[in-house]
Amino acid sequence: MTTGPYQAYVYSYPHKTAYRPLDPRPSLREVWAGEDTRALFLYLHVPFCEMRCGFCNLFTRTGAPEELTGAYLDALERQAAAVCDAVGDATFATAAFGGGTPTYFTAAELERLCDIAGRFADLRSVPLGVETSPATATPDRLAVLAERGTTRISIGVQSFVDAEARAAVRPQKRAEVETALGNIRAAAIPVLNIDLIYGIAGQTPASWRYSLDAALAWRPEEIYLYPLYVRPLTGLGKIGREWDDQRLELYRAGRDHLLEAGYEQVSMRMFRLPGSAGGTEYCCQTDGMVGLGCGARSYTSDLHYSFEYAVGAGQVRAIIDDYVRAEDFTTARVGFRLDAAERRRRHLLQSLLQADGLDRGLYRARFGTDPLDDFPEGLKPFADRGWLAETPDLLRLTPEGLAHSDAIGPALFSAEVRALMDAYEAR
């Protein structure tokens, strides 16, 4: 492995760029028939934001007028009816509204969103996470979310230094951020997560520490530290050849600072106050996900599927327009079928990139084999570098291994998934 530490953030496997049109499109009833639906994840995707951050490679559009947000909720209702019919009496262990920025919706629209989610699960009895932004974390919206059962709110701050926020094309003011954080705390939602970014042009160890301390002043239950990534279709250009070194240095400083402040490390990005994990029965390695909305993925044991995917503004708009006009939500449109080998690989990736590591007993119980036998070539380079610790019970990344999660994850993709992703990127 000769590449740098920042290849890609593996938040799911396979990535959506490996999905392809399903032909014929299977009906959702077929797709969900026979699945274990006792502990699913319900995800509603809201593809709207006030502005496009320069670092963003998510599926979202800006400046959506009220007619469009209303039409989007109408479409979500139609989709929910079809999906409810397909998943039958499924039980949901956890739920989330993500984006985009779900709080781009008004308070009244958020009520509708909760009603739609409430068709699947009693939101007050499962953990419910919602993403928000400094400009939209207003008391009226937060009151709705708190009243409807939100247990976790995640806010993208990125930097508490105004000039850095501007450099990352997220031109918010510190005062607005502090007001939003005050609003969230006043709403008494149990878990506050603050997202910060390192590797911004002009950011220094001192200014990074300043942002970390400004976040810590709120004693958030969770903090995510994201390395800045710039993708071809997003707005920022190159910011210097020492970028990898800058990011690694800031990562280590941030990690150490949060550990000293009493946080535990959950993954390369995630840090949490001990005892603040929102208990859920959901297990991301094995349990399925029901996604609603045009950017959401759904997972069964052997099929991952979604609507079409894009990042470029024109295509995103076209896909959202298609979605709001759609009447038939009874089939899966694009996706990826996981065979037995891909299921093993997914389990490996979903476990190994967590600080707790991979439980070999669980893996053996699920697949009848040991991960070191299944992936000898894939894992050896990391073991050789001292990035992988092995015990009879666990495979776990060392601190330096965790620091290189964004290189380790992509290196473990299958050749087939890599080829599909490369073909997508080359379009």
The candidate with the shortest Cα–Cα distance to 62, out of 107, 111, 112, 101, is 101
Q: Which residue lies nearer to ligand SF4 by CB, 76 or 168?
A: 168
- Residues 359, 379 contacting (CB under 8 angstroms): no
Binders of ligand SF4 among residues 132 to 171 (CB under 6 A) are 133, 156
Q: Minimal CA–CA distance to 198: which of 160, 251, 272, 257?
A: 251
**Token reading at 145:** 């979310």
Judged by CB under 6 A, does residue 52 bind ligand SF4? yes
Strand partners, 394: 359
410 binds ligand SF4 (CB under 6 A): no
Classify each residue of 79-94 as buried b or exposed e, where b means 16 or more C-beta atoms within 10 Å of its C-beta. Answer: bbebbeebbeebebbb
Looking at the Cβ atoms of 145 and 338, the one nearer to ligand SF4 is: 145
CB of 219 to ligand SF4, least distance (A): 24
| Separation of alpha carbons 342 and 326, rounded Å | 32
Identified binder of ligand SF4 from the candidate list 60, 183, 193, 207, rule CB under 6 A: 60
- In this chain, which stretch among 49-57, 159-167, 243-251, 390-398 interacts with ligand SF4, using CB under 6 A? 49-57
| Residue 240 Cα distances to 80, 101, 158, 226, 338, angstroms | 46, 30, 20, 18, 39
Tell me how far apart the alpha carbons of residues 171 and 166 are, in angstroms, rounded to a whole number: 4
Q: What is the C-alpha to C-alpha distance for residues 411 and 425, in angstroms, rounded to an integer?
A: 17
Q: Identify the helix (H) or strand (E) that includes residue 128.
A: strand 128-132
Residue 101 touches ligand SF4, criterion: CB under 6 A = yes
Q: How far is the CB of 56 from ligand SF4 (least distance, A)?
A: 3
CB of 325 to ligand SF4, least distance (A): 23
Q: Applying CB under 6 A, does 255 fall inside the site for ligand SF4?
A: no
56 counts as binding ligand SF4 under rule CB under 6 A: yes
As measured in angstroms, the least distance from the Cβ of 101 to ligand SF4 is 5
**What is the size of the binding site for ligand SF4 (CB under 6 A)?**
11
Among 10, 44, 46, 58, binds ligand SF4 (CB under 6 A): 58
> Which is nearer to ligand SF4, 7 or 101 (by Cβ)?
101
Q: Which stretch binds ligand SF4 (CB under 6 A): 99-107, 339-347, 395-403, 414-422?
A: 99-107
What phi and psi values does residue 376 have, to the nearest 5 degrees? -60, -45
The pairing of strands 92-99 and 40-46 is parallel
Nearer Cβ to ligand SF4 (131/342): 131
CA-based torsion, 15, 21, 23, 25: positive or negative? positive
CB of 169 to ligand SF4, least distance (A): 9
**Piece in contact with ligand SF4 (CB under 6 A), picked from 16-24, 98-106, 107-115, 363-371:** 98-106
Residue 58 Cβ vs ligand SF4, minimum distance, rounded to whole Å: 4
Q: Would you count residue 360 as binding ligand SF4 (CB under 6 A)? A: no
C-beta closer to ligand SF4: residue 95 or 165: 165
Q: Give the one residue of 31, 40, 46, 49 binding ligand SF4; rule: CB under 6 A.
A: 49
DSSP code per residue over 317-357: HHHHHHHHH----SB--EEEE--HHHHHHHHHHHHHTBTT-
Rounded distance, CA 362 to CA 394, Å? 10
Residues in contact with ligand SF4 by the rule CB under 6 A: 49, 52-53, 56, 58, 60, 99-101, 133, 156
